[in-house]
Amino acid sequence: MIKSLLYKLSGTLLSLIRRRIRHKNPLHKPLINRHIYTFIIIRKRIRLHIGTSCCIYSKYTKKTQKQLNRIPNL
């Protein structure tokens, strides 16, 4: 219950941050970008804990894996 709530909360935060960045500068400051990736990693971990279907998880990782490889360790 708590984990699913946390997951939803992190999702809303993620979308809010993304929206803020798009308004403020289209070139995405690398620092804020790093925060987004930490959120993505947190969400992925929570998603594993919740135990949602594997296909959703694999779809999600395929999308973010390329982006995650581009940035340094958080």
Per-residue pLDDT of 11-64, as tens digits, reads: 666 666 666 555 555 555 555 556 666 767 666 666 655 554 444 444 555 555
For residue 50, give its domain range.
Answer: 2-70
Q: Is the pTM of this model over 0.75?
A: no
Q: What angle do CA 43, 21, 11 make, to 5 degrees?
A: 20
Distance from CA of residue 11 to its chain's centroid? Answer: 7
Q: What is the sign, positive or negative, of the torsion defined by CA atoms of 66, 37, 27, 22?
A: positive
Measure the CA–CA gap between 42 and 33, rounded to whole angstroms: 14
* Radius of gyration in angstroms for the set of CA atoms belonging to the chain, rounded to a whole number: 13
* Total domain count, the chain: 1
User: For position 74, what pLDDT does the model report?
Assistant: 42
